């Protein structure tokens, strides 16, 4: 198992638009492409309260590459993402890391 950690740094005031896009659009596409989320979090206390952090679960990097690529190239998703940013951009920067659980991790 591999866990992908993704952190979206939003432009000031744009976190609500990102949350709405995930809530009303992105999660449906995740389900369509078999992208399994572990959870989503906003930052209550920390460096910035303009961030969305989430974790995705993958069986392998090959699975991740195939599913993520299909999702990213879906014309419906591209259209809806573009529409959500018509007024102004939402995300300033995206970070992602791929994590492997230790032998003593509760999540493996």
Q: Is 108 within the bounds of a domain?
A: no
* CATH code, 30: 3.30.70.100
Q: Among candidates 79, 81, 73, 89, which has minimal Cα distance to 9?
A: 89
- Any residues with CB less than 8 A from the CB of 69 and at least 6 apart, and which? none
Global pTM? 0.92
What residues in the chain have per-residue pLDDT under 70?
Answer: none
Distance CA 64, CA 89 (A): 26
pLDDT of residue 74: 98
pLDDT of residue 42: 97
Distance CA 1, CA 61 (A): 9
Q: Is 18 within the bounds of a domain?
A: yes
Residue 5: count of CB within 10 angstroms of its CB: 14
Structural domain span for residue 11: 2-99
pLDDT of residue 19: 98
| Backbone conformation region of residue 13, classed left if phi is above 0, alpha if psi is from -120 to 50, else beta | left
Structural domains in the chain (count):
1
Distance CA 15, CA 13 (A): 6
């Amino acid at each position: 198992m591999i866990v992908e950690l993704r952190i979206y740094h939003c432009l000031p005031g744009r976190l609500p638009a990102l949350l709405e896009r995930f809530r009303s659009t992105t999660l449906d596409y995740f389900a369509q492409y078999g992208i399994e989320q572990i959870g989503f979090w906003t930052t209550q206390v920390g460096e910035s309260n303009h961030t969305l952090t989430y974790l995705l679960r993958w069986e392998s990097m090959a699975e991740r590459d195939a599913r993520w690529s299909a999702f990213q190239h879906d014309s419906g998703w591209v259209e809806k993402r573009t529409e959500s940013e018509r007024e102004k951009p939402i995300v300033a920067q995206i970070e992602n890391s791929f994590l492997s659980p230790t032998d003593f991790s509760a999540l493996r």
